[in-house]
Structure 1
């Protein structure tokens, strides 16, 4: 279940957190020469990451990219399952998280809301099922079909976003054995955060690719950003190209995350049945929000194309779905 708190409390806390994290707004650069392309390459939540932007003051622009890197690391300390002291690890270990950061609250609230929108097909509490599959395939002689039905049923009993209590002061699990993963939404959220940070700093021409992609404004020549859409058969060769301006695109597909060689069992698991997504198919979603596109592409990966198209037509936040 979810418990709500007053808007005034949330607003005040949002102001305090934003002020403490970002400090004062960056000093705007002095007038300089013509626009130049500056690129940062690194990683975010274990994925390759790049930020491309155009600005007429390269030194100032690089300083803002340094701020972005620090923000990425800060958010990884909230959302990463691979950082033992992260907020998500503390929540999973204790079953509760006191005084959660505003970003953690925002992301959890969005995820729980979208879980209801998909009737549980998208659910961050799928982690016990993922752990079951990972443990099963850690044995070199594991059945390639996956764990047996009895163990799957036991894991499914621990799943359900409706059993998470969320308030400004605390996030808590309402039944034992629960755990969450934010792998189906955190990359999109961080992409949105960094895009917003750069927009606030005054940038008008940016392409942020942090696992998911957001195109802020247009390229320096006025053309929209052109983004290749990944496919399942050949990840190096896009199945389509889309022109984006102030839009995001996210791609999901089981082909990129098999539990072991020789099996089609993959990390995209249905929280309701324990089944896994079709292996050789990618699903890309275009939306104004990278967070939403990330969640939607994950959910649509677990639907048939017919069901996915029906779902997308009924959701105004989904602008296009591309299968590959």
Structure 2
């Protein structure tokens, strides 16, 4: 990871507003949930289609799935399966779930027989790391932990240039070792966060679940990560504001 990516944290104390800006930049998964969001909706949209929507909290945000289908029951069943897939993959990708492969990797420095979905996402992350000349880097977790601790303790930890320099030595995706389905770090103290890539991947997989169920018109919005299938029916476009 290029040191220039973190120049803004040097010689700086951190306030709450600054922390929220930084956490949004690096994908800390913080979210302010909207008030009054409809959790469920199923209405006759026209003579051929039902509009069926469901919303749940997940992945640090509100996840909404909307479909237009001739069968209300089939749409509801398909949406339920999509949410099950979201939950399954979140348990694999989350660094906050102590039993997840990502948490085990961060804790022990290695993880054997990682799930294929996790292996795919990490390999993609390494590709993006290379394409971006190191500016996309999932091993940024040690720096994020410093930011979080500084915010929590209300201490000016970011003035500790020596500590920052030590942590930056751990930020380098090229220090991730992959051997088949086994994964490890080449340096002690490293850690990964998939906040910047996993949500989009999970949305894609949820869309695939809907498509396998024969859904032809759908939109998933996971806190700004949006994907659609087709239009809203009868050639009506989706409107995304």
The whole-number CA distance in structure 1 between the counterparts of 2:171 and 2:148 is 17
Counterpart residue number, 1:119? 133
Counterpart residue number, 1:241? none
The whole-number CA distance in structure 1 between the counterparts of 2:123 and 2:134 is 14
1:184 aligns with 2:209: no
Contact kept in structure 2, 1:44 and 1:187, CA below 8 Å: no
Counterpart residue number, 1:151? 163
Give the Å deviation of 1:167.
3.3
Counterpart residue number, 1:129? 143
Counterpart residue number, 2:116? 102
The whole-number CA distance in structure 2 between the counterparts of 1:169 and 1:191 is 23
Find the partner of 1:165 among 161, 165, 177: 177
Counterpart residue number, 1:46? 60
Gaps of 5+ in 1: 1-32, 229-324
Counterpart residue number, 2:240? 227
Give the Å deviation of 1:218.
0.7
Determine helix, strand or coil for the equivalent of 1:42. Answer: strand
Contact kept in structure 1, 2:203 and 2:227, CA below 8 Å: yes
Q: TM-score, normalised by structure 1?
A: 0.58
Find the partner of 1:75 among 72, 89, 96: 89
Which structure features the higher share of helix residues?
2
Deviation string for 1:131-152 (max 9, x for gaps)?
A: 1111122223x33x93422111
**Residues paired across the two proteins, number:** 194
Gaps of 5+ in 2: 1-46
Give the Å deviation of 1:116.
0.8
Cα RMSD for the two superposed structures = 1.5
Q: TM-score, normalised by structure 2?
A: 0.77
Counterpart residue number, 1:281? none
Deviation string for 1:97-137 (max 9, x for gaps)?
A: 11111110110011111011111111000000111111122
